[in-house]
Structure 1
Amino acid sequence: MHRPRRPFARALAVPATLAALAALVLVAALAACTARPPDRGAAGSGGAGPRAVDEHGGRAMLGRPAVPGTPQAPDPGFREPSDPSQWTLPLLAYRPGEEQRRTLVGAEQTLVRSCMRRYGFDWAPSEEIPAPGPRNAMDWRYGIHDARLAATRGYQPDQAQQEQYDRARRAVAARPPLSAEGRAVLTGGTGAGPHRGKGPAVRAPVRAVPPGGCLGEARSRLGTASHGSSPLVEGLLADALRQAAREPAVRAVFRLWSQCMRTSGYRYADPLALAADPRFARTPHPVGAVETGTALADLRCRGRLRVTEVWYGAEVRVQERAVAAHAAELAAVREGLDEVFRNATEVVAQSRAFMEIKAPAIG
């Protein structure tokens, strides 16, 4: 069975009939939780859960009540939520990693460009624009976790990253789109968007275009039209996060988080309700004291209560069940992904070999 690189101790299962007792159990039993998710195998039947007691013993220092919207400097006991960017989940074994995805994108672009040249078009893809914010699929999966960034940007990406992204998008938008002939060769007349890039060197020859155009030809050669992404896997990943939020241990720590947030003057039923607050959506807007104050209070409470670890541990268990329930389908997904990646690696290697052969002639 697939196990995460940083597995989490099995969280306490709190029966619905003991809901009123859940908070007391979590506070009293889990004070020894460390910042790193402990080994699930060493946890025994009792497991571990959110920490709600500070190092000095007694009730956790949740911060002084504040007027909502007033940023609060981290108190002496402030602890950021854990950074899950290097953690993994069982279902991620059936999805391309970031390096694999870049290889697949590069291979597709290499094949498309070669095909377009056969039809007389000097086509070049737009440069990929890394989106600002989370570094990977795990980074902000359970919420933001950088207090320094939250103090000035709230729930928004780093300002410099955002500005760089906006400049790159404007530069791409300013490039002239392909001609109608170029689009027909690129997509086979499927109308798959403007595909901005260099225009044609000469008018496209009048001859049959591959089904789906040069994009279709490239994707057929690689064996994927989605850079290795599987609808089954993406659906299971989305469902797992929601299902984990309904697990008893997660609901219990969410209640403690909600109580903690109230001490700072913020009223949210759980982190999902906060994430749905339209005032803090990741759309361009001025970041003010309301957002930064909410974000710092959120980080303070999630860090103290180990919300990230509890939520992650529950999602690992949900995903393990999903992998077992869809074992045959996921095995086929993994086999297909391996084949796609072999095809892409071969394309990239052939392209490099061709460039090495061609290089002396250029010199």
Structure 2
Amino acid sequence: MTNKVLILVGTKKGAFVLESDAARQSWELRGPYCETWPMNHVIADPATGTILAGGGSEWFGPAVWKSGDLGATWTHSSAGLAYPEGEAPIKAVWSLAKSGASLYAGVDPAGLFRSDDGGETWSHLAGLRNHPSRPHWNPGGAGLILHSLLPHPDDDRRLWVGISAAGVFHTADSGETWETRNRGTRADFMPEDQRYPEFGQCVHCLVMAAGMPDRLYQQNHCGMYRSDDGGRHWTSIEAGLPSSFGFPAAAHPRDPSTLYLLPLNGDSAGRYVPDGKAAVWRTRDGGETWKDLRTGLPQGNTYFGVLRQAMATDRLEPAGVYFGTSTGSLYASADEGDSWTCVAQHLPTVLSVETMVVEA
């Protein structure tokens, strides 16, 4: 029997936790935590129930915070989160992911670290930054950040990462060696004869389909894509969407063909919801067709954006869907997106949204 559902929220001023029962009709807000440091990504370890928060800044430095009591108390560590002397210092942790007994952290400037002791100490996986393309990586609007981490659910050696603006990379040997996985994704900001480079694309978000680890979805600066072969080839699935531009994507917890997006109106037109009317877009057929979901969302004079890690689903039936906005609101749906409720307002800018289901 499900006991409670938690929404884990990373913001520019700390981490927050919202808690509800399985009905998901009423939510209690707690926080801010992590001494109000900027928290770029807050996740849960489903095996232990531990909450982990990655963040920091040029002022505080990088750190991963940890709570074993659902947010009541926290500790943090930055041990090992550093590049060799002489390299640009790490500004912050941008993404976290659990894979087997290991925990991964993506950082700014882009690089990958692993912890085998629950986040107490970290080791740099230098293979990624040793890739031949590294001298040509360029920062996106938020910097040169490793923001997407997708471990393979059945093979701890395999991992995909998304870097702005370098593209998607894959390892099959626990990070020793890497290959680019960008074929078919556009780079509209490049000269016309260089629109499909091997690397250099500005990937915004990378998610994995439930039960099909080689089916990946990618929201890019220049389009929306699906891959059915682990990123070796990408196919555009943006037809039917109001814009090819956006940041977040969230996969359904059971159906590999269901995906949620929140498109924005373009990279140079304000980066807010199209026409000032909020909508989440859902596909049930892997991107062949799309439906806009608006019930309960504001439909006028709405100018918020939603950032790359600020949308998530839960694993209940029917699935819950959640997103947080640049203006500090959090919206929730308990019916797979058919209707929405604002469950928190006036938070700091929301940087990430994840969920955890705690069972009795």
- TM-score (structure 2 length as normaliser): 0.23
More strand by share: 2
Would you tell me which structure has more helix in proportion to its own residues? 1
The structure having more radius of gyration, on CA atoms, is 1
Question: Bigger relative contact order, structure 1 or 2, given CA contacts below 8 A and separation 6+?
Answer: 1
TM-score norm. by structure 1 comes to: 0.23
